[in-house]
Structure 1
Amino acid sequence: MIGASLNGNLKYPLPSNIEEEKHWLQDPQYLLRYMWQSNYRAPIEDKLREGNAKILNICCNYGTWTLEMASDYPNSHFTGVDVAPIFPSGLTRSNVKFLQSNILEGLPFASNSFDFVLVQLFGNIFTEKDWEDQIIHEIVRLVKPGGWVELTQPDSKYYNCGPNFERWNDALLNHLRLKDINGSICENFGRLLTSTGQISRIQHEIVIGPIGSWGRRAGELGASYAHQLSRKMKPWIISYLDITEEEYNEMMIKAEQEFNIHRTYMSTHRFVGQKINSF
């Protein structure tokens, strides 16, 4: 388990001005990178620098990770895929391309095409059955023998919650369950990768992210993300709890006051594994 208390000179520091903070709040990739102090964990640095490595970023969102990696490793090739076309649509870099495609329908690439496949920050949009029957197998299909897969996702369950935030979080998790979505599916990635019979050397790490000013600047950003999520989920949670909008708003005001009293935090899981060479 990796702690979130980061000090000294950081490779990826916190935002230094209001404009940077706006970008951070729009795209959680920035906070994720800060928490891990890396863009990836798989041992592919040499391959990336040698050039001609083929990298796939599934659920690329705004394309932040894909573009930054393409800039850091100009001799390798990066493809970002997402079901929603929120990634850059204009000309970016010669070693980058973006594609709108749904992994549940199969991605338009041949088997064994990529040296590294990354999936992260996909949100709670896939059911547990989707993961078990389709997604994990599609990820493994696309990576070359000897290549690496990496899955990184925050757990939707928060820890050390006060009574109001606990109520909200329980409602969120139960709302997801009604849609057959496991908000803590990230805990199962190791089992899912193992079940394919094609992934070895699986490593699991967890990083803790504070929620609230008790965690200083990083905790304040974590609280901002939690606040944004509470606004997004408001209609569903109001319906699930059968409360008024006024009651919901009051609950969330109290919930956010509880962050520092209880030292609320979240956890993010990262799994890395290598596809077995076939002879």
Structure 2
Amino acid sequence: MGACLCKPKLRQRQKRRKLHRRVPASSISSPLSDAHLIMSDTFDCGVNEEYRFIDGRRFHNVRNSKYMMPCDDDELDRLHVLHYICRFIWKCNYSAPIHDKLSSGGALVLDIGCGTGTWVVEMANEFPRSHFTGIDISPVFPREAKPENVLFVEANLLDGLPYNDNTFDYVHMRFLMTAFSKQEWERALKEIVRVTKINGIIEIMEDELEPRNDGPISRLLHSAFLSDLHSRNIDTTIYNHMFDMLMNTRQLANIKAEEMSTSFGKWADRIGTLLAENTANIFRTFRTKFSSFLGLEPDEYDKLLEAWYCELNECKPYNVGYRFLATKYK
């Protein structure tokens, strides 16, 4: 097994660090310009008006966001690889029945929580007749080197999207389970439905955080991760409620869920190895916090993480992901 991990084609080449430079927000009004810190971490934490810095990692500093992951180069590399893992597993960048609309042109597409913009840029290159907009709370997306049919905007879904009702033919969102409480999910879905056109399609993708059929070391490491999320009022099994929440909007039809299982760990060839390493990068990101939660010294935590790799080969766990699809009918 193998996956192409090359970056999507851009109209121009530009060095990564230049793309990550903080620049003024889009001309579309953004409520994020006055964002400030409300959550205090006790682990080597610094702060300025734009970012928090914890254990040498850079994090967003958006007042009303629960999203916990960094927004630095290491994290952007992790997200970039994760995009290609998902594309390989699902055999396509999307499951929505939208190909003909995208190909014929005129489709307006919104990607919420676009991060590095990898999905947006790749889709825009594949469907040059349609227009793609990516939004994120952190402006880590390309500002200049991007296809002509792409626009990136700094915006926060929970503050309301800066678009009129019935704007987009297709709204795509993935991997934001760790960003919202259940109540915020309900608000987010209402806003997503609002900006989707009649007969437009919504696609939401999430993975289970814990692999199935795993062992005690895996469950111990994940207990630290889940405990941190629960302390932020994050529902870590939102995929179990997504179908009902989509139904409860009373504006969506043809609601369905697709499920995909993938072997997890070095025993499972290249994709299983990449999936495990992706999770290991999260464990390393929060090494100080998670080792403290588990009552371990940092070096003991490192040894536990090495033992986790061996356990994956013994237990042979698997990861489960979901894509939820719905069509707006009124």
Considering the TM-score relative to the shorter chain, is it more than 0.5?
yes
Partner of 2:292: 239
Cα distance in 1 between the residues matched to 2:5 and 2:171: 31
AA of the residue aligned to 1:151:
I
C-alpha offsets along residues 174-220 of structure 1, whole Å, 9 cap, x if unaligned? 22112101222223211111110111111111111222122111111
More divergent stretch after superposition (34-43 vs 205-214): 205-214
Number of residue pairs the alignment of both structures matches = 261
Cα distance in 2 between the residues matched to 1:150 and 1:226: 24
Cα distance in 2 between the residues matched to 1:210 and 1:84: 32
Give the secondary structure class of the aligned counterpart of 2:194.
helix
Cα distance in 2 between the residues matched to 1:123 and 1:231: 20
AA of the residue aligned to 2:286:
M
Cα distance in 2 between the residues matched to 1:213 and 1:255: 11
Q: Contact 2:177–2:238 at 8 Å: present in 1 too? A: no
Residue among 221, 240, 262 paired with 2:315: 262
Residue among 158, 161, 165 paired with 1:111: 165
- Whichever structure has more helix as a proportion of its residues is 1
Partner of 1:149: 202
Cα distance in 2 between the residues matched to 1:235 and 1:194: 41
Give the secondary structure class of the aligned counterpart of 1:88.
coil
Q: Contact 1:111–1:141 at 8 Å: present in 2 too? A: yes
Unaligned 5+ segments in structure 2 are 7-73
Give the secondary structure class of the aligned counterpart of 2:138.
coil
AA of the residue aligned to 1:51:
G
C-alpha offsets along residues 206-260 of structure 1, whole Å, 9 cap, x if unaligned? 1112221221111111121121111012222223223221221122111111001
Cα distance in 2 between the residues matched to 1:16 and 1:117: 25
Q: Is 1:55 matched up with 2:44? A: no
Residue 95 of structure 1: how far off its partner (Å): 0.9
Give the secondary structure class of the aligned counterpart of 1:124.
helix
Alignment of 1:164-203 (within 5 A): 164-203=217-256
**RMSD (CA atoms):** 1.8
AA of the residue aligned to 1:58:
I
Q: Contact 2:211–2:264 at 8 Å: present in 1 too? A: no
Residue 271 of structure 1: how far off its partner (Å): 0.3
Cα distance in 2 between the residues matched to 1:236 and 1:24: 22
Give the secondary structure class of the aligned counterpart of 2:211.
coil
Q: Is 1:34 matched up with 2:23? A: no
Q: Contact 2:79–2:116 at 8 Å: present in 1 too? A: no
C-alpha offsets along residues 146-198 of structure 1, whole Å, 9 cap, x if unaligned? 11000001111221111111111122212211210122222321111111011
Q: Is 1:129 matched up with 2:118? A: no
Q: Contact 1:187–1:269 at 8 Å: present in 2 too? A: no
Residue 91 of structure 1: how far off its partner (Å): 4.0
Q: Contact 1:24–1:30 at 8 Å: present in 2 too? A: no
Q: Is 1:45 matched up with 2:99? A: yes
More divergent stretch after superposition (38-47 vs 26-35): 26-35
Residue 139 of structure 1: how far off its partner (Å): 0.9
Q: Is 1:101 matched up with 2:155? A: yes
Cα distance in 2 between the residues matched to 1:55 and 1:160: 37
Partner of 2:139: 85
Q: Contact 2:203–2:323 at 8 Å: present in 1 too? A: yes
Residue 24 of structure 1: how far off its partner (Å): 6.8
Residue 26 of structure 1: how far off its partner (Å): 4.7
C-alpha offsets along residues 12-61 of structure 1, whole Å, 9 cap, x if unaligned? x51379xxxx9974511111111101111111111111111100000111
Q: TM-score, normalised to structure 1's length?
A: 0.88
